[in-house]
């Protein structure tokens, strides 16, 4: 009987042998077994259809979010420029009234002040009607949550883990369907998106993940196939680090430029006040106020801090992963920790970035941060993908 069992075991196609003195062959065998056992070679048809729908919704949310973002910035810049122009025209009108020969010019400037004031009122009304800031934040933050869910499904972690029995073989696809439907409900529940034409038909160019046409280049991501940890590092974590690293110097320069502009305008106002050019002092001070408002709106310094924290956190996560042995990397718990932690870091940075637009004054910052953290925990529980709040390995 023992001989029969031994022969059956040794002749089984699932029996593997290796020489411990050949570590390279052992590592290759471990990687092969991980590919064979943990992930399917391809997604089921149900999963492909759900991924197609998910990437469609993601592309639409990102495209609309970009439009609302540009509209929000345009309206804000126009408000600043026109408000400064009102101060300029009012100051020039007041100065012109002191001379008897410039009465017609002063009247024209007063009319210009009236027209510009109406323009500011129209811009404020448009901002209140269109609410681009709230819609931009809702669309972009929701798109980030959906992208994290897609990556968790492709790596089969969290609720998308492979079932242990054939009876539950479609469990990942079932959970993905539930997650996608919940995401749609959460997207439409805020920022009055139900009253927009978000559910209309879009041009083919809106979809950028090969849903209907085109194909990826050799070795590029196809946005649907099951993803092993090393491939996940290449396609998800490395691009995220590169994205944050490239933006850090850009916003560092922008923050420095804004600070220097406000400083120089303050010095200019002081010099003009010293020589009693009071009308120019008013105009210069208004310009400094406009630059300060834009600095608060763009919040470049806080962006640099968030990007730097995200880069450090992802690098620490990479160091932890690289320190693991081949057997540990093949562990389901290690893979879960890698993917969940990376998605949490990226999602936390994106959520913080979107919350900047609605940030309250400095005296309420602590309350706002607490509210943002609570919202992130609530969204994480609803999506059932990213664990509750807590930034692993982040500074």
Please give the residue that has the higher pLDDT: either 306 or 31: 306
Q: Would the pTM of this model clear 0.75, i.e. be above it?
A: yes
Long-range CB pairs of 327-331 (<8 Å, 24+ gap) are 327/30, 329/34, 329/229, 330/30, 330/31, 330/33, 330/34, 330/38
In a domain, 199, yes or no: no
Q: By the 8 A CB rule, do 191 and 137 touch?
A: yes
The answer to the question of residue 220 being in a domain is no
pLDDT score of 352: 79
Q: What is the predicted pLDDT for the residue at 164? A: 65
Pair 216, 210: CB distance under 8 Å: yes
Instruction: Identify the band that residue 246 occupies on the pLDDT scale cut at 50, 70 and 90.
Output: very high
* Res 273 pLDDT > 70: yes
Instruction: Using alpha carbons, select from 194, 182, 191, 196 the residue that is nearest to residue 138.
Output: 191
- Does 310 map to a domain? yes
Q: Six-digit token pair at 40? A: 């399917």
Report how far Cα 13 is from the mean position of its chain's Cα atoms: 46
96-105, 353-362, 369-378 — which one is most confidently predicted on average?
Answer: 96-105
Highest mean pLDDT among 32-36, 272-276, 333-337: 333-337
Q: What is the distance between the alpha carbons of residues 359 and 90, in angstroms, rounded to a whole number? A: 32
Count CB atoms within 10 A of the CB of residue 58.
23
| Alpha carbon distance 195, 255 (integer Å) | 37
b/e sequence 148-166, b meaning 16+ C-beta within 10 Å? bbbbbbbbbbbbbbbeeee
Exposure class string for 30-50: b at 16+ Cβ within 10 A, else e: beeebeeebbeeebeeebeeb
Does the pLDDT at position 344 exceed 70?
yes
Q: What's the pLDDT at 237?
A: 96
Q: Is 393 left (phi over 0), alpha (psi -120 to 50) or beta?
A: left
- Residue at 10 is within a domain: no
Number of domains in the chain: 1
Residue 202 within a domain: no
Question: How confident is the model at residue 165, as a pLDDT?
Answer: 59
> For residue 180, what pLDDT is reported?
96
Q: Per the domain annotation, does 97 fall within a domain? A: yes
How confident is the model over 113-121, as a mean pLDDT?
A: 92
Count of all residues that appear for the chain in the document = 395
How confident is residue 387, by pLDDT bands cut at 50, 70 and 90?
Answer: very low
Contact 385, 161 (CB under 8 A): no
Which pairs count as long-range contacts for 347-351, CB under 8 Å and 24+ apart, including other chains? 347/144, 347/145, 347/148, 347/376, 347/380, 347/386, 348/310, 348/376, 348/391, 348/394, 349/244, 349/306, 349/307, 349/309, 349/310, 350/140, 350/141, 350/144, 351/141, 351/144, 351/375, 351/376, 351/379
182-237 pLDDT per residue, tens: 999 999 998 889 989 999 999 999 999 998 888 888 889 999 999 999 999 999 99
> Using CA atoms, how far apart are residues 78 and 289, in angstroms rounded to an integer?
14
Domain span holding position 138: 40-188+227-383
Please indicate, yes or no, if residue 198 is contained in any of the structural domains. no
For residue 249, being part of any structural domain is answered with: yes
Q: Give 121-151 pLDDT, tens digit per residue.
A: 999 999 999 999 999 989 999 999 999 999 9
| For residue 390, pLDDT beyond 70 | no
- Please compute the mean of the pLDDT values over residues 312-330 and round it to a whole number: 92
Instruction: Return the pLDDT at 34.
Output: 56
pLDDT for 33 equals: 61
Task: Please give the pLDDT value at position 166.
Answer: 61
- Percent of the chain exceeding pLDDT 90 equals 55
Question: How many CB atoms are closer than 10 A to CB 129?
Answer: 9
Does residue 383 surpass a pLDDT of 50?
Answer: no
Q: How confident is the model at residue 109 (pLDDT cuts 50, 70, 90)?
A: confident
Least confident of 9-18, 274-283, 312-321, 331-340: 9-18
Taking a C-beta distance cutoff of 8 angstroms, is the pair 155, 334 a contact?
A: no
Q: What is the average pLDDT score of the chain? A: 83
Higher pLDDT, 162 or 124: 124
**Nearest one of 191, 149, 241, 236 to 354, comparing CA atoms:** 191
Per the model's pLDDT, the better-predicted residue between 4 and 308 turns out to be 308
Contacts of 141 (CB under 8 A, 6+ apart): 350, 351, 354, 379
Question: Which band of pLDDT confidence, cut at 50, 70 and 90, is reported for residue 1?
Answer: low
């Amino acid at each position: 009987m023992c001989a029969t069992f031994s022969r059956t075991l040794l002749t089984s196609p699932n029996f593997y042998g290796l020489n411990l003195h050949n570590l390279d062959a052992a590592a290759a065998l471990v990687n092969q077994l991980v590919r064979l056992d943990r992930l399917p070679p391809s997604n089921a048809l149900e999963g492909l259809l759900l991924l197609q729908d998910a990437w469609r919704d993601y592309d639409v949310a990102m495209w609309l979010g970009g439009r609302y973002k540009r509209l929000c910035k345009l309206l804000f810049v126009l408000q600043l420029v026109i408000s400064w122009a009102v101060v300029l025209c009012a100051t020039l009108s007041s100065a012109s009234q002191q001379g008897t020969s410039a009465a017609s010019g002063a009247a024209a400037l007063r009319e210009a002040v009236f027209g510009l004031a109406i323009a500011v009122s129209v811009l404020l009304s448009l901002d209140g009607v269109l609410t681009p800031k709230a819609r931009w934040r809702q669309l972009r933050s929701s798109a980030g949550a959906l992208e994290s869910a897609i990556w968790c499904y492709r790596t089969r972690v969290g609720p998308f883990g492979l079932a242990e029995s054939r009876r539950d073989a479609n469990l990942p696809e079932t959970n993905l369907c539930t997650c996608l439907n919940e995401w749609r409900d959460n997207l439409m529940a805020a920022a009055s998106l139900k009253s927009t034409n978000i559910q209309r038909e879009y041009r083919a160019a809106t979809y950028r993940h090969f849903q209907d046409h085109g194909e990826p280049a050799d070795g590029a991501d196809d946005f649907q196939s099951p993803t092993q940890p090393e491939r996940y590092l290449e396609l998800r974590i490395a691009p995220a680090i590169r994205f944050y690293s490239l933006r850090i110097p850009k916003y560092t320069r922008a923050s420095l430029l804004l600070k220097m502009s406000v400083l120089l305008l303050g010095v200019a106002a002081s010099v003009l006040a010293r020589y009693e050019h009071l009308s120019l002092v008013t105009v210069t001070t208004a310009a400094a106020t406009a630059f300060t408002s834009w600095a608060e709106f763009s919040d470049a310094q806080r962006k640099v801090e968030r990007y730097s924290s995200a880069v450090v956190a992802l690098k620490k996560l990479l160091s932890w992963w690289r320190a693991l042995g081949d057997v540990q990397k093949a562990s389901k718990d290690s893979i879960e920790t890698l993917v969940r932690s990376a998605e949490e870091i990226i999602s936390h940075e994106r959520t913080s970035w979107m919350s900047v637009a609605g940030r309250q004054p400095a005296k309420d910052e602590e309350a706002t941060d607490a509210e943002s953290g609570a919202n992130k925990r609530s969204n994480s529980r609803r999506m059932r993908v990213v664990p509750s709040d807590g930034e692993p390995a982040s500074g």
